[in-house]
Structure 1
C-alpha cells in the first residue's frame, strides 16, 4: 500500500480503502450516495465513468456510482464524508482518494478532509459566511480550493498548514489540528496507528501479518479489515498498551514497537456519564463496584493486583480513580477488585439503549428454525454470515461502514450484535459486512418450509468448480451455475449474452468474460451478484432481471439438513441442541456402553478424538462408537453402533488421535462427516465457534441430551498472558471461550468437536483437549488445532 492510500485511513471513522479497478479511487460494492448535485451518463466501462468524473465541469466531482448491468454512470459532487451512503443492489460506489485524506502532506494545500475544529477547540466559520468575520478568502475568490462548508483548508499556502475563520468574534482565524501523513507517532495506545515502522523496540524485524511463519497467529488481515494489518507494520489489534508485531525470530514470538507519542492533541470522545453504548469504551461515569458487589481497585495502584492497565499505558481511556472502564476492548466496563482472591470482574453499567435485546446483551434467540418467513422482517435467528461467506458488521458499529440502521433508529427490529436482520423491509434478511469494499449483502438463509424431511441423495463433496449442467440448481450465489434455465423470475425469456438487441451492452459478453459460461441465453452470474444468476431480457422495457434457480440440496460434509440453533450460551451454560443438528458428533464408550468422551466423524470409517481419551486401554476392543443419536441413552432408531478396528495416536505426542471403525457408517440425514480445515489454517481471532457434547453440565440443565454452546476463538497471544493460561498453550493448540466464564466444554466433552462456520459449511477446527476447571473466568478451554495435523490425518486414512 502506498503512502497516500495508507494515509487515507489515518484517524478516519469511515475508510473503505482497498485495491480497486480504477486508479486513484476507493471502491465499495452495493452502495450509492444520496446527493442533490449529480449527473448521469451512459458508458460502457467503469473506466469511462471515472473519466467522466475527472472531466466533470458542472461541479467538482468527488465520487461516482456505476451500474455495470445498466451501464449507468452517476458523477457526484459529494462523498461519504459529507453525505449519506445507502444500500443499493448492483451498484458500485467509487470515491476519489484525495477527498478521503484526513492528514496533511507538506503545507496541506491539497487537504480535502472534514476537520472543522481549530487547535484551541474553536468551531470554524463557513467559508461563504460573512459573520462573525468578513473573509478575504471565499469560494468565489479561490474556486479551486474546495472551500466547502466550514472545513479546514489552506487556500493561501500558509506555512502553518490548514486553517479557518472561527466562530469566535474575538478570534478571526486559527490553524487546525490536522495530523501529518508522514509523522511516525501514536495517539493514545496506538489503536489507529497506520505508519510503516516494522522493527520492534528490541531490534527484531516484524513478521508479515498475512504470514504464518515463523509464528502461527489468528490476526488474519482478511478477517480483521478494521485493524489495517498491512505488510509487516506495527499495529495494535488487541487492546495492548501500544503497537506490536510478531517477529521473524523463532526465539521471540512477539514484541512491542518503539513509536513516540504524538505531540498533537489526541482525538476527543463524547463521554457517557450515566450509561454505556456497545462495549462501553466511552463510559466515563463513577460506578466503582463490580457485578458481585466488590469495590474496584484504583487504576493507578498495583495492589492488591499488579497490572499494566495504568493511566500511563492507556492515556485516553479515562482511568481515573477506581471507576469502571473498558480500556482494552472487553465485552463491557470492568475493573480490578480490592479483593486479593478476585483479580477482576465486569461492572453493571446501564445500557444507553432501552431497545429489547440490545446488541451487548447475549440473549438466546427464541426462534428454533434458522430460516425466515416472508421477507424476513420477523427473523430472529443467529446467522451472522452473508451469502458469500462474509462476516456481518455489528449493527451499532460505524466501522467499516457508516450507516443509520442502528438499534436506536430501529428499536423494534432486534438489531442485536451482528445478527442478520431486515429492518427496512427488503426482500430478505441482510447485514452490513466486515469487508470495507462490500457495503452489504443478503445473508446465507433460506425461506422456511412446511416440509420436515428433505429428500436424500448420495453423499459426496460439493463440486469444486462448477455445477453439472444436468443439475438445474445453484451453489451459494450461483457464480458457478451452468444449468439450462433461460427465463427470469417474471417469466420473460433471456436475451443471448452475445446479442445486442433489444438491449445493447458491453459489460458482460462471451468475449469480456470467457470463463463465465456466457454462451447461449442461459441465466448466469458473471459479476458474482449476491442475489444469484440473472440475464438481459427480451423485454424492451426491462433491461435485466434475476432468474429463479433453487439451491442444490444434498448431504455434503459440514452441511446438516437440520440447521443447528448455534446458541450463544452463558456442555456448561449452553443450550440443548436440536436433535441431529450436529450429525458428526459421536459418543465414545466403553464396551459396556458407558459414555466417557466425544469425537468427530470426518470420514465414513474414521473418527477424530483426543489422545487422552484412550488412556484407559490400548486395545481397540475396549471401546465402541455410537452415532446418530441425540440422547446419551442412545435408544433412538437412528442409532448406528460400530466397534473399533484400529486406534492411531498422533506420533508427536499431541492430544489428538484417530479411530478406524470396524465398518463404514451409513451416511444419512443423522450421520454425516464434518468438513476438514485447510492445512495450517489459523482461525481468526474473535471468530464465533461451537462446541457440542454430552459432558458434565454442572447443574445448568440438559443432562442426558446433546448440548451446544458458542463462544469466540481467543488468539494464543492473549490466551498465554499471565492472568489467563500463563504460557501453557502451544502452537498446535488453540483457545476458545468467554473470558468472563459461564460456558465451556467439560468432563465428558473431551475429544469432541470445536467447529466453526465458514463458506456455508461447518469445519472442525479443534478437538476438545484440556482446561483449568470448567467455565471459569479467564480460563478458556484449550483444543488441539486440527489444521496442524491434516497431513498426518490424510496419510493415516490412506495407508490404513
Structure 2
C-alpha cells in the first residue's frame, strides 16, 4: 500500500509542477510571433518548453511557441505587446503574464509593462542609449542591471525609487521623470469602464452582485462562456453592453440590476489614434467635424437635452470625443451617428467617408448571401457562416478586440470582410476567422467544401448506405474510426506506429491505445478542433488534416442550406426553397380546431408544390397563463424528409446571448419590398432584455418570458401575418427555435425591435403537454 502511494506521488508531483510553471503564462491557441531573435528546441511536452524559456540565457524570454504535432519549441524575447501576433495552424503561444501586466505592485520594481511615456507625456529614452542623457552614474544600463529588463525604452524602476517606475526622457531639458502607472491593487476605471477588470462586487446602492454564470434570481443573456471577450468573471462589476459605467445583476429579487460605484483612474486612459477625415471599422476613433446625418438632418449638441433627452453625454462617455454636435460612435453602433435636432427623429447614422479604398457602409440591401460551402481554398467564399469549427463566435473583421490584427476591410478591400463572416482573405487552405475567445486567436470555420456537399448528396441518393455512414465523423471526429487514410490534399498517411519518414513520439498506438491508431487511418487523438489528421508519407509535409464528412441529418440542420439574409419578411429577401423546413402554414375558415389545416413542406404561399403535406388539426393547446404560445397536435404524423424537418428545442431557461444572429421567416406583410407569395427571411441580432427595456427602446414592456431581436436602426422585422412564426438562432452548426413571433410597435421601426416569446421558458410545459397528449 505504501509502495503504491509512492508510485502515485510521482505523476501527481509532476502535474503540480506543470500547473505551477504553466500558470506563469497566458496561452493563446493559433497564434504566432514572427521574431528574428529566437531559440529552437526539440522537446516532448509544453512543460519542457516552458522550462527552456524560464532558463533562457541568450535573451530575456518573454514568451514561447509550442507546436505539439511537431514537438517544436521556440523561445523568443518578444510578446504580443512588442511584436505583431500572426495566425498559424496548431501553434500555441505562451506569454509570461508578468510582461503583460500594465500595473505596478508596491513601488513597481517588478513592473514589466510597455508604458514608455512619462507623467508629462515625454517619450522615454532607450536605456542603452547615451543621448540625449547619459545614464545616472553610468549604472542604469542593460549590462549593469541584467534582471531589470532594460532592453527597450519602457518605464522601469531599477534603483528602487520610492515614486515608482521612471525613465530618462528624449527631451534634452528634462533628464528623467516618473511614469504614471496604475497600481495593481487600485480599484478604478478608465472612460466608461469597458476594460475594468477589478473585483468590486457591490453596487452603488449596496446590493450584492449576482454571479454572471448564475441565472437566479435574474435570468439573463450575459453568459460568460458565450461572451468570453467581456471577462464576466465571478460576480464582479463589468460593462459588457456600453452603459456609462460598470454594473451587475443583483442578488435581490426586487432589483434586477444596478450600477457600481467605481472611481476613475488618475493615470491617463488608453490613447486613441484619432481619425479626422474618415472612419475605420465602426468609426469609434472618428474625431472629425461632420455634424449632419445621412438624410441631412442637423445633429444635436451632445451636452444638451433638447429636443432629445439622452444619457450619451460627455460626462457619461468621457473618452468618446463627444464635442459640440459632431457625429460619433460612443456605444459600439455599426457606424458614427448623432441625435438630431428634428423632434420627430430621435437619431440617425451619419455618412462619414470610410478610410482606404473600401466603400463605406451600404445603406441599401446587403449583397445576396451565397451557399455555405466553398470551392478550392474558399478565397471566393461569400457565405454566412459566423462560427468556427469548434463553435466559437467569430470576431468582427473591423474590430481589434479581443485580437488585434491587420486583416481589415481596408487592407483587403476585395475579400468581402463584412461583419464577422468567415472568409479567406490571405489564401489559407479554407475560410477562417478570428474568434471572440481571448485564448483562441483564430480557427477554421464550419463551412464545407463543394466536394463534400456533392459527396453528401450522393450519399443521400444512396439512402444512407452503411459504407457511407462508417466513413463520417461526429463533431471534431474524436470518435472517428473510419477507413480514410489520405489527407485533404491527396497524400497517403504514414502509419501511426511508424517513425519514417517523420519521427514523432506524442501520438502512437502505445501513447493513445484507445484512439484506433492501429494502422494509417486518419484519427484525432488530440481532439483537434479542425478534425481528424495524420502524419504524411510526404517528406516535406509532416502532417495534414483529412477530409471527413459530418454524419447524418438531425433537427435544425436543413439539407438545403439557407441564404441567411442578415439585416434587411419587411426588407428581407426571398428564401431558397425548403431551406427552412420547419416553416408551416396554418390555415382555417373558423376558430374550431377541426377546421384548421396545417400545410408543411412548401415554399409558396399558394402551396402548389409536390412536396406539400397537409394535416388536419386534432387539438389546439394554448400556452399557460394566456402567454402568446400554443402547441398544435396533428391528426396524423408528418413525414420527416429533406423538406419537412423540425428545428431543435433550446435548453430549459436558456437565454440567448446578445449579438447572436437569429432569423425569422414568413409569408407576412412585406410593405412593397417584393417577394409576395414566396417565403421570405431576414436575420438580425438578439438584444438583451436589459437593453431592450431602456426608455428609448421598449421602455420596460418586455417580460422575462419574452425576448427582443432586431436592428436598432430598423429596416428588417417580422410583421403582420408572421405571428406565431419561428425565430431560430444559429449555434454549433444548428438552428434552434429560440422564439415565437409575438408583437412589436409597428414593423421595422428604428429603436423598436420585434418581441418574441422565449421558448426556453416553456420547455417543461412543451414536454409535459406532449406526454399528456400522445
With the shorter chain as reference, the TM-score category is: over 0.9
CA distance in 1, matches of 2:463, 2:320: 54
CA distance in 2, matches of 1:540, 1:270: 47
Q: 2:347 aligns with which of 338, 344, 349?
A: 344
How far apart are 1:369 and its partner, in Å?
A: 2.1
Instruction: State the Cα deviation string for residues 545-592 of structure 1 (Å, max 9, x = none).
Output: 43343333x33211111111111233101111111111111111114x
The equivalent residue for 2:4 is none
Write out aligned runs for 1:289-688 (5 A). Answer: 289-356=292-359, 364-366=366-368, 368-448=370-450, 455-456=459-460, 471-488=470-487, 490-496=490-496, 505-509=504-508, 513=512, 516-518=515-517, 521-537=520-536, 543-552=542-551, 554-591=552-589, 617=591, 619-688=592-661
CA distance in 1, matches of 2:98, 2:227: 25
How far apart are 1:519 and its partner, in Å?
A: 5.2
**Mapped contact 1:32–1:85 kept (Cα < 8 A):** yes
**Mapped contact 1:534–1:545 kept (Cα < 8 A):** yes
How far apart are 1:440 and its partner, in Å?
A: 1.2
Matched, 1:788 2:774: no
3-state DSSP of counterpart to 1:791: helix
3-state DSSP of counterpart to 2:74: strand
Instruction: State the Cα deviation string for residues 251-301 of structure 1 (Å, max 9, x = none).
Output: 000000111122223332122222222222222222222233222222222
The equivalent residue for 1:50 is 50
Q: What is the TM-score normalised by the length of structure 2?
A: 0.92
Q: Per the alignment, do residues 453 and 96 of structure 1 end up closer, same or farther by CA in structure 2, a change over 3 Å counting?
A: closer
**Mapped contact 2:237–2:260 kept (Cα < 8 A):** yes
3-state DSSP of counterpart to 1:456: helix
**Mapped contact 1:360–1:416 kept (Cα < 8 A):** no
CA distance in 1, matches of 2:540, 2:303: 70
**Mapped contact 2:366–2:568 kept (Cα < 8 A):** no
Figure out how many residues of one structure are paired with residues of the other and give that number: 748
Matched, 1:66 2:70: no
3-state DSSP of counterpart to 2:643: coil
Specify which structure has the higher proportion of helix: 2
Say what the alpha-carbon RMSD is for the aligned residues.
2.4
Q: 1:194 aligns with which of 184, 188, 197?
A: 197
CA distance in 2, matches of 1:24, 1:176: 26
Q: Per the alignment, do residues 99 and 249 of structure 1 end up closer, same or farther by CA in structure 2, a change over 3 Å counting?
A: same
* Higher alpha-carbon deviation: 784-793 or 360-369: 360-369
**Mapped contact 1:43–1:49 kept (Cα < 8 A):** yes
3-state DSSP of counterpart to 2:321: coil
CA distance in 2, matches of 1:20, 1:209: 27
How far apart are 1:308 and its partner, in Å?
A: 1.6
Q: Per the alignment, do residues 254 and 51 of structure 1 end up closer, same or farther by CA in structure 2, a change over 3 Å counting?
A: same
CA distance in 2, matches of 1:633, 1:184: 64
**Mapped contact 2:293–2:351 kept (Cα < 8 A):** yes
Compare relative contact order (CA 8 Å, sep 6+) and give the higher one, 1 or 2: 1
CA distance in 2, matches of 1:438, 1:318: 32
**Mapped contact 1:473–1:550 kept (Cα < 8 A):** yes
The equivalent residue for 2:3 is none
CA distance in 2, matches of 1:363, 1:668: 33
Q: Per the alignment, do residues 545 and 186 of structure 1 end up closer, same or farther by CA in structure 2, a change over 3 Å counting?
A: closer
Instruction: State the Cα deviation string for residues 361-408 of structure 1 (Å, max 9, x = none).
Output: 786234532221221111222222111111111112222112222222
The equivalent residue for 1:79 is 79
How far apart are 1:20 and its partner, in Å?
A: 10
Q: What is the TM-score normalised by the length of structure 1?
A: 0.89
Q: Per the alignment, do residues 745 and 366 of structure 1 end up closer, same or farther by CA in structure 2, a change over 3 Å counting?
A: closer
How far apart are 1:175 and its partner, in Å?
A: 1.2
The equivalent residue for 2:14 is none
Gap runs ≥5 in structure 2:
1-18
**Mapped contact 1:469–1:484 kept (Cα < 8 A):** no
Matched, 1:246 2:249: yes
Gap runs ≥5 in structure 1:
1-18, 461-466, 592-615
Instruction: State the Cα deviation string for residues 456-513 of structure 1 (Å, max 9, x = none).
Output: 38999xxxxxx9996111234322312233454545354245x667755442345655
**Mapped contact 1:275–1:352 kept (Cα < 8 A):** yes
Q: 1:170 aligns with which of 170, 173, 185?
A: 173
